[in-house]
Structure 1
């Protein structure tokens, strides 16, 4: 075994998905340590997992496919965090659930700058000019929009339709996060969370 391959427990037959998850988890950890995803390499990820680089190609055809898979993995982490935050707020508190979702999004983006830049680098896909965009970021906007719709259904007045409210909240919070990231300032999540609360105050009538 080469020095680049650390000892690890070999996956049994049928545990390919487990190895794929280990690869993505290792890539996620490495991204926290590196200066952007450009420094992420197949060889470096393989070393972190303790496998030969060739093993990664069984799950990802090339580095671009690995980066795409990593972006999807990070959106999955964000969804889990948002699920947990929303579940801690009673269903009857629709406004509290919107706030919990937006706060979690802001804190995740600020705590994981490299991951967040990777997640938002390519935007949404649109198969044709007439088709609605789709992708994980669009799903995120749809989730926030649905939360605003529940607010309206429960009797909380909005100054704009729920669909517009979801876009305004997401674009506003994303812009604030991107501004901090572009200037190299990492003040923590509290400042962005406060800004999100200001956005919500403008959206709710």
Structure 2
């Protein structure tokens, strides 16, 4: 009966099986970590037969690469949505909103975030869609920095990426909350202040009026 039920479920969801497997894997990562992921385990989580994932993914890395690529696509959308119309705010304001969007993305999609920056898991050299999606996300930051008119946009770009990614990682790992407790402050307020500081630093660097906020 269990096998028959599994077959019925697999047939019923055949058209969207790939997406269901991806979602099941993301949920597994979020609840038990990446180490728990195997195609057999993901199949069980999705309620399909053990062989079903192989119709869409050759191996574990192929499944993780799909999660990584989708994560970068979602991140790109969020970063693009964070920026205001050029010229309506200072560069620092735009940078602050972009950094905040980066952290917010990590909070909403922790399963994706854990995979996206682990090339040994998603093997982008074998799955070019990951590299393409990652480049598109980075291009949003590159375009933003290019509009700031700084002398070394590459150095500033990688610095801003590191700051945004660091805040996101500290937030997901719970370290930001721990530090906020030690300092007797609110974690979200601390994050907002940190993001605002990034924006103010950019404005100081570019000679614009400060006032960037989280």
Q: Which has the higher helix share?
A: 2
Higher relative contact order (CA 8 A, sep 6+): 2
The 2-side partners of 1:51 and 1:186 are apart by 39
Cα deviations by residue, 1:37-95 (Å, 9 ceiling, x for unpaired): 11122233223333222121111111122122222222222223333334xx3344363
Match among 17, 35, 38 for residue 35 of structure 2:
38
2:85 match: 90
Match among 20, 23, 30 for residue 22 of structure 1:
20
Q: Does 1:140 align with 2:130?
A: no
The 1-side partners of 2:196 and 2:168 are apart by 14
1:70-89 superposed matches below 5 A:
70-86=67-83, 89=84
1:130 match: none
Cα deviations by residue, 1:103-151 (Å, 9 ceiling, x for unpaired): 1111222444443232112289998xxxxxx664444333112012234
The 1-side partners of 2:42 and 2:124 are apart by 31
Which 5+ residue runs of structure 2 have no aligned equivalent?
126-130, 178-186, 207-214
Aligned residue pairs, count: 185
SS in 1 for 2:175: coil
The 1-side partners of 2:5 and 2:43 are apart by 8
The 2-side partners of 1:76 and 1:150 are apart by 22
Which 5+ residue runs of structure 1 have no aligned equivalent?
128-133, 153-157
The 1-side partners of 2:135 and 2:188 are apart by 22
Deviation at 1:169, TM superposition (A): 0.6
Q: Say which is worse superposed, 162-171 or 138-147, in terms of deviation.
A: 138-147
Q: Does 1:168 align with 2:149?
A: no
Aligned 8 A contact 1:148 1:166 in 2: yes
Deviation at 1:176, TM superposition (A): 3.3
Decide whether aligned partners of structure 1 residues 4 and 10 sit closer, same or farther in structure 2, where only a CA change above 3 A counts: closer
Decide whether aligned partners of structure 1 residues 83 and 141 sit closer, same or farther in structure 2, where only a CA change above 3 A counts: closer
The 1-side partners of 2:119 and 2:4 are apart by 36
RMSD: 3.4
Decide whether aligned partners of structure 1 residues 200 and 177 sit closer, same or farther in structure 2, where only a CA change above 3 A counts: same
Deviation at 1:193, TM superposition (A): 4.2
The normalised TM-score by structure 2 is 0.68
The 1-side partners of 2:107 and 2:19 are apart by 24
The normalised TM-score by structure 1 is 0.70
